[in-house]
Amino acid sequence: MIYMNIISMRDLDKKTVESIFSLAEKAEKGKLPERKGILATAFFEPSTRTKLSFQSAAERLGMKVVDFIPEVSSLQKGESFSDTVKMLDNYCDIIAIRHPKEGSARLAARLAKHPVINGGDGGNEHPTQTMIDLYTIKKEKGKLDGLNIVFFGDLKHARTMRSLIYGLGMFGANMILISPKGLEAAPEIVKETKEKFGVEIIEKNEMDFTNADVVYAGRIQEERFADKYEAKKVMEQFRLKLEYLKKAKKDAIVLHPLPRLGEIGPEIDDSGHARYFEEAANAVPIRMAIIQYALEK
């Protein structure tokens, strides 16, 4: 049996992501085969959707779940990350992990015999969220290539945005990146995505949503700021208002990985544009597909 780790969008190709989408479609129809085994969730950072949807996905597949909770574990006695991962690996068949340090999921994958799925490593990557986002856009718009996607938020620190820029590039979408000054996407990500996939990526600091098919908003990542006051200041200034969407396409949709704080005005919820709760619901079939794929590859 060859296992597959899911650590970075950069390790995946279009064919693999499309296979995961097909499995997710089957999952939605209740057509994925049942499977035995245990998923371990090891979340060293807060989580609602990612952890619970991984657990729900495993249970829906017929698997069992063990949950490592750092606050009540031997981590408190000083046990190392490496030893913790090695132990956990003995008690399960697959591990979903989240950790504040960039590179931690890759390290866990090196240490474990079983597949490791990255549920977010610091400000680096969040590949399973990207697959949820791509799947949601494809479901809503019927395609990904040629769409205009406007990003809105903290592009410097948000791992969801970092992974999605690459993922959308892979599928041929064009991007406009709107962020507060100083919170722009890392230049190497933009350059890499443009060069590798030949897509258009334009960066802006002003609110311009002209011709948008999709607006992808995100939270200012306060926990990754050295100066929390700076984060609070931009949070207040950077809010998506319904009037900004006037120049977007009529059927433009608004996505957000959630949790949201104040960056999406409440008037967006009832505007017909909001799809963030549908997006969150897609987390279960996509994560069922990812577990299945990682265990069977």
Q: Would you say 117 and 128 are in contact if contact means Cβ atoms under 8 Å apart? A: yes
Q: Could you list the active site residues?
A: 49-50, 77, 98, 126
* Region 118-157 residues binding ligand NCD, contact defined as CB under 6 A: 120, 126, 129
CB of residue 153 to ligand NCD, shortest distance in Å = 9
Cβ nearer to ligand NCD, comparing 177 with 199 = 177
- Residue 50 touches ligand NCD, criterion: CB under 6 A: yes
Site size with ligand NCD, rule: CB under 6 A: 11
Phi-psi region of 182 (alpha: psi -120 to 50; beta: other; left: phi over 0): left
CB of residue 219 to ligand NCD, shortest distance in Å = 4
Output the 3-class SS for 231-289.
HHHHHHHCCECHHHHHHCCCCCEEECCCCCCCCECHHHHCCCCECHHHHHHCHHHHHHH
Among 156, 159, 162, 275, binds ligand NCD (CB under 6 A): 159
Site string for ligand NCD, 211-250 (x = CB under 6 A): -------xx-------------------------------
CB of residue 57 to ligand NCD, shortest distance in Å = 14
Site string for ligand NCD, 67-106 (x = CB under 6 A): ----------------------------------------
Q: Which of 147, 169, 130, 142 is nearest to 286 (CA)?
A: 130
- Residue 257 touches ligand NCD, criterion: CB under 6 A: yes
- Residue 287 touches ligand NCD, criterion: CB under 6 A: no
CB of residue 77 to ligand NCD, shortest distance in Å = 27
> What would the DSSP string read from start to end of 145-197?
TT-EEEEES-TTT-HHHHHHHHHHHHTT-EEEEE--TT-PPPHHHHHHHHHHH
Rounded CA-CA distance 141/143 in Å is 5
Q: Would you say 39 and 93 are in contact if contact means Cβ atoms under 8 Å apart? A: yes
Rounded CA-CA distance 290/269 in Å is 29
Among 41, 55, 160, 163, binds ligand NCD (CB under 6 A): 160
Give every CB contact of residue 110 below 8 A, 6+ residues apart in sequence.
Answer: none
Sites of contact with ligand NCD (CB under 6 A):
49-50, 120, 126, 129, 159-160, 218-219, 257-258
